A and B are shown apart, each in its own frame.
Chain A
Amino acid sequence: MGLIEDIKKNKASYLMIAPYMLLFTIFTLIPVVSSIFISFTNYNMLQPPKWVGWSNYIRLFLSDKIFLKVLRNTLIFACLTGPLSYFMSFFLAWFISEFNPKLRAFLTLVFYSPSLAGNVFFIWSFIFSGDVYGLINGWAMKLGIINEPINWLQDPNYILWVIIIVQLWLSMGAGFLAFVAGFQNLDRELFEAGAIDGIRNRFQELFYITIPQMAPQLMFGAVMQIGASFGVSTVVMALGGLPTREYSADTVVTYLIDYGTVRFEMGYASAIAVILFIAMLLTNKVIASILRRYSFD
């Protein structure tokens, strides 16, 4: 069946999607496709783009040592904070779901408030401030753990870890909310059936009944988490500056912002984005195939 006939037959479906798709095409699809095109050009925003083929990509991998460093940082963030945040938000949502509604609402608020409060993470720059007035330095010196203040946000030995901590603090995001909502949407009869069929503890219940039902939320959470852990940037720039000292905590995204908004090398910046996109895509495929194994359908 051709597309035209299909549209005629399912007119209602297409009409309902139309407003969204129109906006989506204008504000997401066209920009994304054109940025892939720009990645094959040299473009400084003043002169028209000049086609250069693969040269941006070749430069990225063969002659840009800093790129390899920021790639390493990004992978550290993605491999550490990604799974940690994901499991933390899932298990916290699960713990919370067992409480009565009032307590559940309160705990959800406690865990979600860091993400809710928006730009409040700047408070971490006071906590990890490099002078004696920083909370950590002040107390570590008072208690005699260290003799002089540590410059947490400038010292390449520490900054990566500080950002991991802040990132974890911020990580109860959209995925966490979806999990909390998902746990409330579960089919209660299945739990009763499970209990009759000999489910003995909460972990069996979780694996055999809850997780298969939560597949859509688990997928949503995973996609959001991939985006969050590969996209670490705001916290890095707010705490460490752009770029951080010796690029010790820079990520692919801050590197991209550096090239895109400071040096105006749009072609190169777009190539960086495309590489990041491909990395996220591959991760997504792997996670989707794992999750599919655990769901009902």
Chain B
Amino acid sequence: MSKKATLAWRKQNRSMAGNLVIFAILAILGVFMALPLIYTIVNAFKPFDEIFIFPPRLYVRRPTLDNFVLLFQLATNMWVPFSRYIFNSLFICVVGTVGHILIASLAAYPLAKHQFAAKRIINEVIVLALLFTPQVTYIPLYIIMSNLKLIDTYGALIFPAWQMTLGLFLMRQFMTQIPDALLEAAKIDGASELRIWWRIVMPNVKPAWLTLMILSFQQLWNQTGGSFIFSESLKPLPTLMSQIAAAGIARAGVGAAVALVLMIPPIVLFIISQSSVMETMVNAGIK
């Protein structure tokens, strides 16, 4: 049946009252979600005297770029050039995310679709690991990193990101939905497992790995390097930003500007990947 026919069936099953309730819920929750972000954006453009008035305003009367100018001045006066922080962040995010998607989905395919002895136990272990609080593995992790000479290198942030259980678990969950018939057809045509993974499985779970791309990028983007990165020239952007924002009340406006600058890249990436998700669904191969 065509897509239009589906829509016709669906319309029949939707009541007007139900639609109204849904719109109301979406509107209320949408306002609740958006207001704090709008407040952040508005504060970033407020001149100093407007930040401290009573009662606080949700809009700005005399918008100014002062906060951004001040932020820019602070950032250029650092002894490590500002561009270096940007490079660090982008490098860690891109290499971390791409590596994670490739390694995790390569492993997820056999875990979802093949039969072999170790499958059950590996699947169990992955779920268990997902539930373990990362904060406490911190000390053993540090010891391991220092033995591998990873402390104070990009590797300290990138390699752990490649094996986040989140990605493997997400990819595996989506891959179980691929029909076996599709894979068997490819096998009969003589495709190798690697080829099946790359040419059939990966295109069919595009929404999943685009989701994973967003999640992984976002996690890496917000990483500060913690106590694995010491040299200033290797630190990612959020450390610099938090140093600037930490200067306290006098910099309340700059703090909002920093938040705004930091939230732009993940949001842009999200918008781009969203549109590709929709594109995939329009040309969806299997369903």
Contacts and interface: CB of A to CB of B under 8 A. Distances in A.
A256 B194 contact: no
Contact of B207 (A3, A32, A92, A184): A184
A1 B277 CA distance: 43
A101 B160 contact: no
Contacts of A146: none
Given A105-B275, A269-B136, A95 B270 contact: no
A12 B110 contact: yes
Given A16-B106, A188-B287, A223-B169, A112 B139 contact: no
Interface in A168-191: 169, 172, 174, 177-178, 181-182, 184-189, 191
B279 to A, nearest CB: 9
Contacts, number: 308
B14 interface: yes
Interface residues of B, number: 108
Contacts of B5: 192
A26 interface: yes
Contacts of B9: 191-192, 195
Interface size of A as a range: 35 or more
A87 to B, nearest CB: 12
B141 interface: yes
Interface in B155-195: 159-160, 162-163, 165-166, 168-170, 173-174, 176-177, 192-194
Contacts of B77: none
Interface string B261-280: 01100110011001101100
Given A88-B29, A119-B242, 4 more contacts: A21-B107, A133-B54, A135-B56, A284-B131
Interface of A: 1, 3, 6-7, 9-10, 12-14, 16-17, 19-21, 23-24, 26-32, 34-35, 38, 45, 88, 91-92, 95-96, 98, 101, 104-105, 107-124, 126-127, 132-135, 138-139, 141-142, 169, 172, 174, 177-178, 181-182, 184-189, 191-192, 195, 199-202, 204-205, 216-217, 219-220, 223-224, 226-227, 231, 233, 253, 256-257, 260, 266, 269-270, 272-273, 276-277, 280-281, 284
